[in-house]
Amino acid sequence: MTIILLVFAAFFILPIIWLLLAPTKTNTQLLLDGPFSFGSFDQLVANWNELFAFGSGVFSTWIGNSALYSFAALAITLVVSIPAGYALALIEFKGRRLLLVTTLIVMLIPNTALVLPIFLELSAARLIGNPLAVILPFSFFPFGVYLTYIYFSTAVSRDLLNAARIDGAGELRVFAQVAMPLATPVIALVGFFSFVANWNNYFLPFLVVGGDKIPVQVGLANLLSNVPAFNPTTASSIVIQLPTLALATLLSVAPILLIFLFAQRFLVEGMTAGGTKE
Amino acid sequence: MTVTAPPAPVDAVPTGRRRPGRRRASRVNAGQSRYGYIFVSGYTLLLLAFGLLPTLYAIYLAFTRNGAFVGVDNFVRVFNDYRFLPAVAHVALYIVYWLVSLIVLVVILAIVVHAIRVRWLGNTARFLFYIPGAIAGASSVLLWLFVLDPTVSPVSALLKGMGYESLVNVVAVDNLPVVFTVIAFWAGAGGWIVIMYGALNNISADIMEAARIDGANAIQTAWHIQLPMLTKWISYMGIMSLAAGTQLFVEPKILAQATKNVVPEDYSLNQLAYLYAFRQGDFSGSAAISLILLVVALGLSAVFIFRGKLFERD
């Protein structure tokens, strides 16, 4: 049993450790030294400078685009999902069940399944190339509505809301002053999952934006064409060395990796939310 | 990559049966119901714009050509494309590898981690398994380019021992289903292990204790008690992963780019749909393929919601 555990722990963690060490080496060191050796901080700085000098700093632009898309979509997602999940859980209205079941079905299909249809639609709407073509589809996050729905239907009682109503509070005040202060955990949870999903999304932005509008996930794949080790015939005169590509890979996931490290407990709670709350 | 951050297990979803309190609530005034509509309006707009409308538009495109209704012509054309059946076969083979390894290994690992008595050790193991989930999409494929390239790989001895001298050898077409399975497993399995672990925690201590008193060893307990209790979670994981597997795109796309098309650019169905739209300018053909994939995904999801036991309250 211990052996199974160790083998799989190594399988899951060694690639990450390798990725943390590779940017500290020169190309030669990467090829010749042991895979888990440390190069030097000077070399890390040199690789860093090479990466950010590439294409007059296009890497920073990509990171900036990723941040813009992810945060803008996150904001819209929260603004529309929290009230929607609240209403689905605690307000009775016609069509509530239809909306709930639709949300479940759409939530369970892989998000890539709608990417080409969305591309075709945006293309007909002449929105291709516009940042909105990424932000708006990213904002549609049924899983967030579902999480909010589960949260409000288990953590907030109708009696509490009714008490506020009897005291004369209108629906907006009930939502803003009774429900919202209780909603902090679910807001954080929805925000987390939305941000991670959007930051890591490759397929949709790959199709709907180009040029200097691409996020880092798409940019990373573009970098690949400038790596002579993988593309010996590369036409570009400016080349990217392998350690620099490794650094780019690491930086492209750094925000998510940091969130994972610091929000560990929280994350596990979120993933098992449905299982433990009844 | 489509396997990271699996949606949280969905245990508390009502399917039809109203809670006792609901009936009373449904008599409340129309004013409250009006606010219900206001609260869901923003989300409903997005649902229409990026859920329903693209689906309808894809249906329209798939059954027309240059605006004229052509019945199933587009589908026939796609089916007859010499690249279509190989793409189906590639994806199917990958799914078989992926599902079998996922189900067997995730269940074993969850049970093994669950059996760890030392608290911090169990937590650490789960965390180590889960952390690759942070690295998804193009980034994980890039990382695996390094891992699979014998010249720089952290496991180059292993790769060379298996007779591979270069990246191109490793990602030969016949190896791809295994390669994609390894990548997907690396990034996605941890999330499922955490979910299975949570499900194992829900098995009452009394039952486990009774088994122990009856003299069941760890393997008997796993087989006769834990495994049956996990069935619904396993089917949930299986269906979600099957749906995600049909969508294969990023991995072959980036490997194709890295190997100058040693990995073919029409390896998977989504890649083919992409080529139809972008290379051939054939939006109808592209819509036909993506519609087939969408129907598969919707079908699996709907079957699961309407028939799956997971959505009924225990």
A220-248 average pLDDT score = 77
ipTM: 0.90
> Residue B143's closest CA among B102, B186, B193, B190?
B186
Q: A122-153: per-residue pLDDT in tens?
A: 999 999 999 999 999 999 999 999 989 988 98
Q: Residue B278, SS3?
A: helix
Of B8 and A232, more confident: A232
pLDDT at B98: 95
pLDDT reading at A180 higher than 50 = yes
pLDDT at A162: 87
A152-179 average pLDDT score = 87
Residue A225 binned pLDDT confidence (cut-offs 50, 70, 90): confident
Provide CATH code, domain B20-25+81-311.
Answer: 1.10.3720.10
Cα B214 → chain centroid? 39
Of B213 and A233, more confident: B213
Q: Are B47 and A140 in contact (CB under 8 A)?
A: yes
C-alpha distances (whole Å) from A256 to each of A67, A241, B13 are: 12, 24, 29
Domain boundaries, chain B: 20-25+81-311
Of B220 and A1, more confident: B220
Domain boundaries, chain A: 57-226
Q: Which residues of chain B have pLDDT under 50?
A: 1-6, 8-26, 312-314
Tell me if A113 and B250 make a contact (CB, 8 A cut-off): no
Give contacts of A270 with chain B, Cβ < 8 Å: 8
CA B54 to chain A, closest CA, distance in angstroms equals: 5
Tell me if A275 and B2 make a contact (CB, 8 A cut-off): no
pLDDT at A156: 83
Q: Are B247 and A113 in contact (CB under 8 A)?
A: yes
Q: Running DSSP on this structure, what letter comes out for residue A249?
A: H
Torsion of CA B123, B129, B134, B140, to 10 degrees: 170
- How far, in Å, CA of B251 to CA of B23, rounded? 50
Provide CATH code, domain A57-226.
Answer: 1.10.3720.10
Q: Which two tokens stand for residue B129?
A: 């398994």
Among partner residues A106, A249, A277, which is closest to B51 by beta-carbon distance? A106
Q: B166 and chain A: CB distance < 8 Å anywhere?
A: no
Task: Specify the DSSP element, H or E, that contains B68.
Answer: strand B68-69
Residue of A109, A157, A218 to mutate, testing the B interface (most B Cβ within 10 Å of its Cβ): A109
Give the relative orientation of helices B73-80 and B283-307 as an angle to the nearest 10 degrees.
100
pLDDT at A233: 59
Q: Which two tokens stand for residue A12?
A: 């899951």
Residue of A17, A62, A149, A203 to mutate, testing the B interface (most B Cβ within 10 Å of its Cβ): A203
Instruction: Please name the residues in contact with A104: beta carbons below 8 A apart, sequence gap of 6 or more.
Output: A142, A146, B10, B13, B301, B305, B311
Q: Are A44 and A241 in contact (CB under 8 A)?
A: no
> Residue A72's closest CA among A258, A198, A183, A255?
A198
Q: Residue B69, SS3?
A: strand
Express as a percent the part of chain A with pLDDT over 90: 57
pLDDT reading at A98 higher than 60 = yes
Instruction: Please name the residues in contact with A121: beta carbons below 8 A apart, sequence gap of 6 or more.
Output: B53, B54, B57
Among partner residues A35, A140, A277, which is closest to B50 by beta-carbon distance? A140
pLDDT at A108: 85
Q: Which two tokens stand for residue A59?
A: 């890497």
If you count them, how many residues does chain B have? 314
> Residue A17's closest CA among B288, B280, B41, B155?
B155
Question: Which region, left, alpha or beta, applies to residue B5 given φ > 0 means left and ψ of -120 to 50 means alpha?
Answer: left
Tell me if A150 and B12 make a contact (CB, 8 A cut-off): yes
Among partner residues A12, A137, A275, which is closest to B129 by beta-carbon distance? A12
Tell me if A225 and B22 make a contact (CB, 8 A cut-off): no
Q: Which two tokens stand for residue B91?
A: 């994806």
Tell me if B142 and A4 make a contact (CB, 8 A cut-off): no
- Give alpha helix (H) positions in B15-155: 20-25, 30-47, 53-62, 73-80, 84-115, 119-130, 137-148
Q: Are B165 and B79 in contact (CB under 8 A)?
A: no
